[in-house]
Amino acid sequence: MTVALLSVSVTASAQRVPQPASEEPFATGSSQWDGYAELTRLAQREVGKELVILAKRINYSELSPQDALIIVRPTQRLNEASLNAFLVEGGRVALLDDYGRSEPFLNNFGIRSLPPPSAPADTLRHNADLPISVPSVQVTANALRGRHPVAAGVERVVTNHPRVFAHPDLTPVLEIVDQNGKAHALAVTGVIAQKGRLFALGDPSVFINFMLRYPDNRKLASGMIRYLTESRAFQIKSPQSDAAPAPSPPKSTGPGRLFILTNDFDELGSYGNSERVQDRFDAALEESWQALKDVGENGLSKSMVLGLSALIAAWIFFSQVQRALRSHRLLAPSYTLSPALAGQVGLASRISVLRSKYANPTLSLLELDAVLRDAVTRRLKQDGGASPARLGELARKAGLNQDDANLLKQTLTEFQVYAQRLTARKRSTASEKELKRLHAQAMHLLNAIETNKMTHRSSP
């Protein structure tokens, strides 16, 4: 009877069509239908207004293990090292995302984001884009384990164009069942290093103002907030064990804060000693690759070339620092041309030169040459001065397919020609068409190298 009444309530409420929003979706200060003002008020009532922090930036170095983060559809790649370290020390993180950029972070825990079932068993108003999710009930050794405490009292949660998760070990909290009876996880959770708590939900619209009118959506929001902020409210069982609850996080020396971060926000500092050059390197690769994808739609403008060059210059700088820490010396840029100003190792000066209207666009190609060589030689454990032919052949033997190995040789050879022209003080300005082609080739190769699992193979 309860379920039937909820169904009627949900259907009746859904007849009220929301008006178009004039503010950013999920904004904590927005009272529009797709804002998060109601979730903010709910959190303030649960935790205390003074402990709920609404911000557009987070400084990881200022967090303590007693704090908690609710991150909603991030538009930038997250600082994975800091978040991982925060969780390991006992911090709590809720990630509410469907089509944002949280997937690299979730991949650290084996979580993959997938499309929802095309034919859900239960929907709102017979609309497959509005599937109804229900609490997951775990069965272990033919015995019911019960639902997760986050979903206490919840029967039916209304969703809107959600994503679902594939996961190896985490505990499902909510699921969408398809017409064949197969369950697809909408929300999962896990205890990290026996201390921290991670909660991932594949639909941030579950908690927008309009959706919190549904009683069970509201109960789920309260359950999530309590799960993140209370240390003894839940008896949590580890995904690997059904026998005993995992140890509770250390007692707080004071009440922890709850940060709500939505959409585009700045990330500053690092948690503990978590910041690694490799994380910046990986982030630079993704940002550059994402920017290049835009080229296919909008063409390659001079500002985009310079913007890519700046990102790539940062990438080279950090990879050089990483190698310098190993070899106790700082490597000079590959295109050092005395007395060229762009040959300075300082990151700020290099970016400044590359962005200058007086800069030869060919410099951006030489930055790409350095990046490409760095990526290949780092994987192959080779000297960066190896010839294009040798690097291409070694890359092929290490697992790169023949076409990409040939393209690597060709691209490095072309970069070498431009470098020789600059060294000889010959006039050499690449055309926009050449810039676009070579940038595309280099970024394709970088992506292939980083995703191919290409590894060095020792000679017998």
The model's pLDDT over 376-413, given as tens digits with 9 standing for 90+, comes to 877 777 665 678 888 888 888 888 889 988 998 998 88
Reply yes or no on whether the pLDDT at 287 is more than 50. Answer: yes
* Residue 446: band (very low, low, confident or very high) from pLDDT cuts 50, 70, 90: confident
Reply yes or no on whether the pLDDT at 269 is more than 80. Answer: yes
Report strand pairing: 157-158 vs 127-135: antiparallel
Reply yes or no on whether the pLDDT at 3 is more than 70. Answer: no
* pLDDT reported for residue 60: 94
Reply yes or no on whether the pLDDT at 95 is more than 80. Answer: yes
Beta partners for 93?
69, 198
- Architecture of the domain made up of 2-271: 3-Layer(aba) Sandwich (3.40)
The model's pLDDT over 219-265, given as tens digits with 9 standing for 90+, comes to 999 999 999 998 434 443 333 333 333 333 333 345 789 999 999 99
235 CB-near residues (< 8 Å, 6+ apart)? 149, 245
Q: Is the pLDDT higher at 39 or at 447?
A: 39
Reply yes or no on whether the pLDDT at 432 is more than 60. Answer: yes
* pLDDT reported for residue 296: 43
The pair of structure tokens assigned to 243 is: 């026998």
How far, in whole angstroms, is CA 196 from its chain's centroid?
A: 19
Q: What is the chain's mean pLDDT, rounded? A: 74
134 CB-near residues (< 8 Å, 6+ apart)? 122, 155, 156, 157, 174, 175, 177
CB 373 within 8 A of CB 426: no
CA distance 454 to 183: 36
Q: Is the pLDDT higher at 16 or at 170?
A: 170
* Residue 130: band (very low, low, confident or very high) from pLDDT cuts 50, 70, 90: very high
CB 279 within 8 A of CB 85: no
* pLDDT reported for residue 143: 54
CA distance 37 to 23: 12
Reply yes or no on whether the pLDDT at 109 is more than 70. Answer: yes
Listed in order, strand segments (DSSP E) in 28-88 are 52-54, 57-59, 68-72
- pTM here is 0.57
* pLDDT reported for residue 426: 54
CA atoms within 13 A on the CB side of 313: 23
Reply yes or no on whether the pLDDT at 418 is more than 60. Answer: yes
Going from the C-alpha of 387 to that of each of 57, 171, 377, 383, the distances in angstroms are 45, 51, 11, 10
CA distance 68 to 89: 12
* pLDDT reported for residue 315: 52
Nearest of 338, 276, 265 to residue 102 by alpha carbon: 265
* pLDDT reported for residue 344: 34
Q: Is the pLDDT higher at 247 or at 37?
A: 37
* pLDDT reported for residue 385: 66
Reply yes or no on whether the pLDDT at 324 is more than 60. Answer: no
* pLDDT reported for residue 441: 85
Integer Rg of the chain from CA:
26
DSSP 8-state assignment for residue 150: G
* pLDDT reported for residue 147: 82
CB 408 within 8 A of CB 382: no
The model's pLDDT over 42-53, given as tens digits with 9 standing for 90+, comes to 999 999 999 999
CA distance 453 to 401: 12
The model's pLDDT over 188-198, given as tens digits with 9 standing for 90+, comes to 999 888 889 99
Q: Is the pLDDT higher at 256 or at 8?
A: 256
* pLDDT reported for residue 135: 95
CA distance 75 to 101: 6
The pair of structure tokens assigned to 4 is: 């039937």
Angle at 260 between CA 235 and CA 129, to 5 degrees: 85
Written as one string, the DSSP assignment of 207-263 is GSTTGGGSHHHHHHHHHHHHHHH-SSS--PBPTT-SSSBPPPPPPPSSPPPEEEEES
N-terminal to C-terminal alpha carbon distance within the chain: 73
Indicate if the alpha-carbon torsion angle 161, 167, 170, 176 is positive or negative. positive
205 CB-near residues (< 8 Å, 6+ apart)? 34, 98, 159, 160, 161, 162, 211
CA distance 450 to 443: 11
**Which segment of 96-110, 155-169, 280-294 scores lowest on mean pLDDT?**
280-294
DSSP 8-state assignment for residue 2: H
Task: Report the amino acid identity of residue 2.
Answer: T
CA distance 59 to 66: 15
- Quick check: helix, strand or coil at residue 128? strand
* pLDDT reported for residue 31: 92
The pair of structure tokens assigned to 328 is: 């106790």
**Residues above pLDDT 70, as percent of the chain:** 62
Domain limits, CATH 3.40.50, in the chain: 2-271
The pair of structure tokens assigned to 416 is: 């070498």
The pair of structure tokens assigned to 239 is: 């995904």
Nearest of 34, 11, 5 to residue 21 by alpha carbon: 34
Reply yes or no on whether the pLDDT at 155 is more than 90. Answer: yes
The answer, yes or no, to whether the previous bond of 339 is cis (omega within 30 of 0) is: yes
